[in-house]
Amino acid sequence: MNTVKPYNDTETLANIANGEKIAAELSKIDGRHWTLGENRDSQDGRLLALDLLGIAGEVVTMRADWRDKSRTNVDGGYPRSTDENGRDRDYGKEAKRYDEALPGISISASKSPKAAAADIARRFLPAYLELYKRACERKAAINAYIVSQHGLLDRLAAKCPNVGRAIKASDACKRGWNFSDPHIELGSLAIGWYGSAKVFGDGTTHIELRGIPEGVTAMILAALESFGFGEAPKTNP
């Protein structure tokens, strides 16, 4: 392991400097293999934290408490992804209950690696691993939903050439498209109809139409009636 470079002249990082020993002790206690990873500042190489890495992607992070140099804070990392709008998703935060805090503990920086590992295994791992499992399930469910959503959109595009062209020209990130007929400009008045369609991972769609002329409306309603839409509600005798 590289020599630990402290945050400043007075901070020794204590337990964090013994990360390799803690990883080895935790592996003995927990029965899973944990290895050490270093989290360093990209600019000056300062050691920001040490990560204990599990074989299934688990990350247990140890960092010095900047408010109390005698303590080391322990928390965890969870599966993440970036959605189609560029937004970062942390599935640990998504999977936890609204009244549930993310698991985390504080341990004395003066403890031996064996004692620190025992603390982590007893006080932190049970809650962390349970939430990590839920986070993985959440990510898998979201991924399956997106695959189903994109599949429905692709099938609709394959059946309807105009829809396919609209999707390719759309900024809707493969979740739907906008459409309209050619507008006729009469001064400040635009005559024409328009709308949008969205697809969902459960195999359904949401279609919104506006400005629909009577003839097109009648065709749409006739098609819907063929599936029973518009029937009077059935009542019990």
pLDDT digits (tens, 9 = 90+) for 138-175: 999 999 998 898 888 888 888 877 776 666 665 555 67
Sign of the C-alpha dihedral, residues 90, 95, 98, 100? negative
Q: Which of 90, 122, 147 is the last residue of a domain?
A: 147
User: What is the Cα–Cα distance from 174 to 168, expressed in whole angstroms?
Assistant: 9
Same domain, 97 and 38: yes
Same domain, 90 and 188: no
The CATH number that applies at residue 105 is 3.30.1460
CA 128, distance to chain mean position in Å, is: 17
Q: Which of 83, 118, 147 is the last residue of a domain?
A: 147
Instruction: Let me know if residue 39 belongs to a domain.
Output: yes
pLDDT for res 93: 94
Among residues 50, 143, 57, 54, which one has the least CA distance to residue 94? 143
User: What is the Cα–Cα distance from 135 to 89, expressed in whole angstroms?
Assistant: 11
Same domain, 103 and 69: yes
Same domain, 44 and 122: yes
In the numeric block, the tokens 């932190």 are attached to 124
Question: How many residues are present in the chain?
Answer: 237
pLDDT for res 211: 81
Same domain, 143 and 166: no
15 burial level (CB within 10 Å; 0-12, 13-18, 19+): buried
Q: Which residues of the chain have pLDDT under 70?
A: 1-17, 164-174, 179-192, 230-237
pLDDT for res 174: 61
Same domain, 35 and 129: yes
Same domain, 130 and 23: yes
Same domain, 116 and 171: no
pLDDT for res 13: 46
pLDDT for res 56: 94
Same domain, 93 and 25: yes
Task: At 21, list the tokens.
Answer: 């020993």
Number of domains in the chain: 2
pLDDT for res 183: 54
User: What is the Cα–Cα distance from 79 to 76, expressed in whole angstroms?
Assistant: 10
Instruction: Let me know if residue 8 belongs to a domain.
Output: no
Q: Which of 112, 147, 182 is the last residue of a domain?
A: 147
Range of the structural domain that residue 174 is part of = 160-225
